[in-house]
Amino acid sequence: MTTETLIWLIPLPPLLAFFLIVLFTNRYRGLSHTIAIAAAFLSWLGSMIVFIRALQVHELGKHPFQSSIPWLPLGEGWFSIGVLIDPLGAATLFFVAWTILMIFIYSVGYHNYGQPEGDHDRKGLPPHGATVMDEHGHKHKVPSIEPMYSRFFAFIGLFAFGMYLLVVSDNLLTLFVGWEIMGLCSYLLIGFWYGKPSARAAMIKAFITTRVGDVFMLLGIAYLYSQTGTLNYRAILYNPEVLETLANTPSYIAGLSAAALIGILLFIGTVGKSAQFPLHVWLPDAMEGPTPVSAMIHAATMVSAGVYMVIRIFPLLSAGSGHGALTAPMIVMTVIGAGTALFAATIAVAQNDIKRVLAYSTISQLGYMVAALGIGAYIAAAFHLITHAFFKALLFLGSGSVIHGMEHGVLHTDDHVDPQDMMNMGGLRKKMPVTFWTFLIGGFALSGFPLVTAGFWSKDEILADAFGHAHYGVFITLALAALLTAFYTMRQITLTFLGEPRSKAAEHAQETPWTMTVPLIILAVFAVSAGWVGIPEHFPVIGGIVPNWFHEFVGETLLEKPKGVEFNPIPLLTSIIVALGGLYVGWLVYRNHKAGETDPLEGALGAFYPVLKNKYYFDELYQLIFIRPSVWISEVFTYLWIDRKLIDGILHVIADVSIKIGAFLRNFIDKPVVNGSGDMVANVTKSTGHSLRVIQTGRIQQYMVMALFGFIALSGLFYLIIQRMGIQ
């Protein structure tokens, strides 16, 4: 099978699994998850084959894999769609395939073990996995399997299809199709437990917020097509003449070129999809869905797709940047990315929900990537996208393991605490050793623990790029964000795993099954080793021992491969200091935290602590300036004035006129003409029958006499006619 054919086939298994589960196997849970995992494995296998072949092609210096077919007929010719795997696509395909497969395997254990999180309150029904006693005194165990089990695997199959489609597409239109499929799946899966009002609110919030960005993105796609007549990557992004033309063509906004306006419009799509300020508010609430969904959104699909898109179109975003100057889209990305990185990190330090901390961490790390791309650090942004996917998937799946362990403790005690609140945990390193060590690796990778973890190498490269190109404001902002990241990560690890249990549920927690821990172990390996492929050549001592393969490979995606920055000890020392300093302070502050004690940070920050805990009140602000006016407009203005008075008024006028016209037609046409004609025919018939009925006496003699007279009369008439005609 040719590589191009295989690329076409990679997205199909999860899509087929979705239809098979929905149409045929939804009643058979074991068969449903088997089909889903088999589909994920087939896509993983195809992705690994394509990745290896892409490496071989790169070594030979050949062109990337691409194939296209005519799709939509146009006025002249066809709009073609196809697949493309270049170095960036191959690297993205690698982490997407691995994280999706691990999440699928993890989901089996997650939904079959104990009480599913989010299912604590079943409206008075016993929780799943609980032992209950029937009316005869016999004990029964409530099935521990998740309700709507098959539906879950169908939905994440469709989710995976959307991401695979987006990655292998060779144009922005089919990328947008995959983009929107993932938007639908996020709606379905964030609100998977739709019986909870909070889950229903979160799914709507995520869908509407991301749609805001998608509208602008679609405008950018339409504008780009109107200017170039194509949406194909190779025809636009790798064509210097097209890029130069776009950079020199004025747009509808004064001072912006067509390339700049298109780039900004497309980037707004990323702001929504990757939860950047000010459209960040949906991502923390997305924690209402099952934990595997959180991992899919935060690592394998949704938010990674937003950053991947802007990395993919980087030549367009940087079109017209001469002598190192930043273009308008790059300036916007730098400001929003760096600001979001620090903004979200400050919120994360005051959150107690184990998943919500990771959610704000994701927003912050995505800001890192966006800011890196804004300052032109193309390879550093792509590198951090990949390393972040591995350790963030590990952390989210680890948090799900922790929650399940805590729920086991809740079920076996009378301590009905919130199993997601870190203040109720503590001491879990002894109860859940595999989860602890893998979570520790993921947390250290997120913090950028020096030399050992993948997160260090990718973060350090971003800081080095910012410092090396004199973007000192970005450098300081991202360094502060990194310091806070290390602090809240160690806070999370300390409160969750170290010290002594702060609740009975934590005392009775237990390790989760192998279907949940094996994916954690595999992802932990990548959380360490994924950074080895991007060690800078000029790094002290170890630089050059391991080739900087990532820079050489992914750099080939651009027409002109970016040059690595010269080594400078300042960003390196900064990276080490903020990572180790943040980790140490986090441990120092929370190492002796006891049950019932106030968060030490609350005393340190004073009145500012509630601001961080309440996320700078952005939800309340949006409620005030967007949601309430919209509700008022829909309920008061639209319903009472537009609907009740205008629309209903028009309909009532039409109804009144119709009634009057009907009355006129009835009184002057229907009754006198139509009914009168009918009545006249009936009356004539009736009177004629009434006149003739006298001859119907029933007497045979009378009939014979009448027949005789009739015969005589007819004979006479016949005789007269013959005489008139002169017939002898």
Q: Do residues 113 and 512 lie in contact, with contact meaning Cβ atoms separated by under 8 Å? A: yes
pLDDT at residue 587 in the model: 96
Residue 125: pLDDT band by 50, 70, 90 thresholds? very low
Q: Does pLDDT of 409 surpass 60?
A: yes
3-state helix, strand, coil in the chain (%, to 5): 70, 5, 25
* Whether residue 278 has a cis bond before it, omega within 30° of 0: yes
Q: Does pLDDT of 141 surpass 90?
A: no
Q: Does pLDDT of 414 surpass 80?
A: no
Q: Do residues 557 and 480 lie in contact, with contact meaning Cβ atoms separated by under 8 Å? A: no
Q: How far apart are CA 227 and CA 231, in angstroms?
A: 10
pLDDT at residue 675 in the model: 84
Distances (CA, A) of 670 to 122, 126, 561, 657, 663: 64, 69, 86, 18, 9
Q: Does pLDDT of 383 surpass 70?
A: yes
Which residue, among 67, 90, 78, has the nearest Cα to 8 in the 3D structure? 67
pLDDT (average), residues 62-72: 89
What's the start-to-end Cα distance of the chain, in Å? 109
pLDDT (average), residues 563-571: 89
pLDDT single digits (tens) 434-460: 999 999 999 999 999 999 999 999 999
Which of 146-150, 490-494, 650-654 shows the lowest mean pLDDT across its residues? 146-150
Q: How far apart are CA 712 and CA 447, in angstroms?
A: 129
pLDDT at residue 618 in the model: 95
pLDDT (average), residues 402-419: 85
pLDDT single digits (tens) 176-207: 999 999 999 999 999 998 888 899 999 999 99
pLDDT single digits (tens) 488-505: 999 999 999 999 999 999
Residue written as tokens 């009975």? 504
Residue 146: pLDDT band by 50, 70, 90 thresholds? low
Q: How far apart are CA 548 and CA 539, in angstroms?
A: 10
All residues at 6 or more sequence positions from 650 whose CB lies less than 8 Å from its CB, including other chains: none
Of 44 and 646, more confident: 44
pLDDT (average), residues 540-559: 85
Rounded to two decimals, what is the model's pTM? 0.86
Buried b / exposed e across 44-80, counting CB within 10 Å, b at 16+?
Answer: bebbeebbebbeebbeeeeebbbebeeeeeeeeeebb
Distances (CA, A) of 351 to 404, 462, 490: 20, 27, 13
pLDDT at residue 119 in the model: 43
Tell me the pairing of strands 139-141 and 65-73. Answer: unpaired
For 39-160, where are the E strands, in sequence order?
A: 65-73, 78-85, 131-133, 139-141
pLDDT (average), residues 104-109: 94
Q: How far apart are CA 660 and CA 662, in angstroms?
A: 5
Q: How far apart are CA 182 and CA 302, in angstroms?
A: 6
Residue 648: pLDDT band by 50, 70, 90 thresholds? confident
pLDDT at residue 137 in the model: 57
